[in-house]
Amino acid sequence: MKVIILGCATSTGVPIIGCNCPVCTSDNPKNERTRCSLFIRLGGKNILIDSSTDLRFQALEHNITRLDAVLYTHSHADHTHGIDDLRTFNFVNNMVIPCYGNLRTITNLKKNFGYIFDGVSSAGGKPRLELNVVERAFDFEGIKIIPIEIHHARWMILGYRIGNVAYLTDCSGIPDGSLEKLKGLELLILSALRYREHPAHFNVDQAVEMTQRINPKLAVFTHMGHEIDYDTLLSELPDNIVPAYDGMEFELDEP
C-alpha cells in the first residue's frame, strides 16, 4: 500500500502570494506546499482524498494517470476546486469516477459546481462523477473504507481510515465515537495549521496532544500555513511525529 502526501498546505498554499516572510521566501523545498490532498494506492486501485486546487500539478508531478475513486473530506474551496481536472482522468480511462462524502459535502458539491451536475452536455466536456453519500464503513472494490467524523469549527466533516492509515485534515476536534475507530494506527496524518489557536483547526500543541491520545506508530502533520518552518517544527516535535512535505511517501503492508 502506497501513500503519497500530494500537498500539505493550508488553503492559501505556501508561499502565499505577496508574502515576504522567512518561510514564504525560504530556500528549503520542504517549505513549498501545495493545497492539501492525499493519494493512496492499494489493491490495484488509486484513491484520491480531495480534489485540491493544485490537483493538475500534483497529478503531473507524481505521474498519476488513473483515479478509481475520490473521497471528499468536506467542501471547502482548497479541498474541491481541482474538481474540473477530474474530467481528464475520465477521458484517459474512459470511466466515470465514483466520489464519496457526507451529506453536506455532496449537497455542496452539487450546488457549488452546478454546471457539472445540471445534465446539460457541453462541447468542452465536463467531469463525469458519480456522487455517493457515506456515513459508515463501506466496501469499495474489496477495500474497506471507514469514514471518521471530526469537527471543523461548527461543521461535522469526514476523515478516512483505510487499513492502519487515517487521514484527518481540517480538524478542530474528534468526538469519542471517532477516537474509538482510530486504535492501532501505523500512520496518522493529522492537520496542524500553525502555532496560534484557530477556531476551525488544531494548532501544533493541540495536534500533538491529540496524537498522544490516539498513539499511532507515526504521525505526520499536514495543512500547514506559512508560520510553520519545516526544519524548526521537525526539531520541536516528539519522536513519533514529523511535519509533512509535498511528495512525502510511505510504503505500508496491505490490510
Shortest separation between residue 105's beta carbon and Zn ion, angstroms: 11
When the beta carbons of 163 and 243 are compared against Zn ion, the nearer one is: 243
Q: Give the DSSP H/E element, type plus range, for residue 220.
A: strand 218-222
Choose which of 226, 228, 233, 241 interacts with Zn ion (CB under 5 A).
226
Stretch that binds Zn ion, among 15-23, 40-48, 160-168, 177-185 (CB under 5 A): 15-23
The answer to whether 46 and 39 are in contact (CB under 8 A) is: yes
The answer to whether 231 and 184 are in contact (CB under 8 A) is: no
Query: Is residue 54 a contact point for Zn ion (CB under 5 A)?
Result: no
Stretch 83-112 residues interacting with Zn ion (CB under 5 A): none
Sign (positive or negative) of CA dihedral 25, 50, 201, 138: negative
Choose which of 2, 21, 77, 175 interacts with Zn ion (CB under 5 A).
21
178: three-class secondary structure by DSSP: helix
When the beta carbons of 17 and 123 are compared against Zn ion, the nearer one is: 17
Any residues with CB less than 8 A from the CB of 176 and at least 6 apart, and which?
none
Taking the C-alpha atoms of residue 173 and residue 159, their distance in angstroms, rounded to an integer, is 12
The answer to whether 147 and 158 are in contact (CB under 8 A) is: yes
Taking the C-alpha atoms of residue 16 and residue 162, their distance in angstroms, rounded to an integer, is 32
Query: Is residue 33 a contact point for Zn ion (CB under 5 A)?
Result: no
Stretch that binds Zn ion, among 16-24, 81-89, 102-110, 176-184 (CB under 5 A): 16-24
> By C-alpha distance, which of 156, 155, 151 is closest to 172?
151
First-residue to last-residue Cα distance in the chain: 8
Choose which of 32, 50, 68, 78 interacts with Zn ion (CB under 5 A).
78
Shortest separation between residue 33's beta carbon and Zn ion, angstroms: 11
Shortest separation between residue 102's beta carbon and Zn ion, angstroms: 13
Query: Is residue 50 a contact point for Zn ion (CB under 5 A)?
Result: no
Show the binding pattern over residues 177-216: x = contacts Zn ion (CB under 5 A), - = does not: ----------------------------------------
Taking the C-alpha atoms of residue 12 and residue 58, their distance in angstroms, rounded to an integer, is 16
The answer to whether 152 and 172 are in contact (CB under 8 A) is: yes
Q: Give the DSSP H/E element, type plus range, for residue 214.
A: helix 204-214
Choose which of 32, 50, 170, 246 interacts with Zn ion (CB under 5 A).
170
C-alpha cell recorded at residue 91: 477521458
Query: Is residue 153 a contact point for Zn ion (CB under 5 A)?
Result: no
When the beta carbons of 161 and 223 are compared against Zn ion, the nearer one is: 223
Stretch that binds Zn ion, among 71-79, 203-211, 214-222, 244-252 (CB under 5 A): 71-79
Choose which of 76, 82, 189, 210 interacts with Zn ion (CB under 5 A).
76
Footprint of Zn ion on this chain (CB under 5 A)? 16, 19, 21, 24, 76, 78, 170, 226
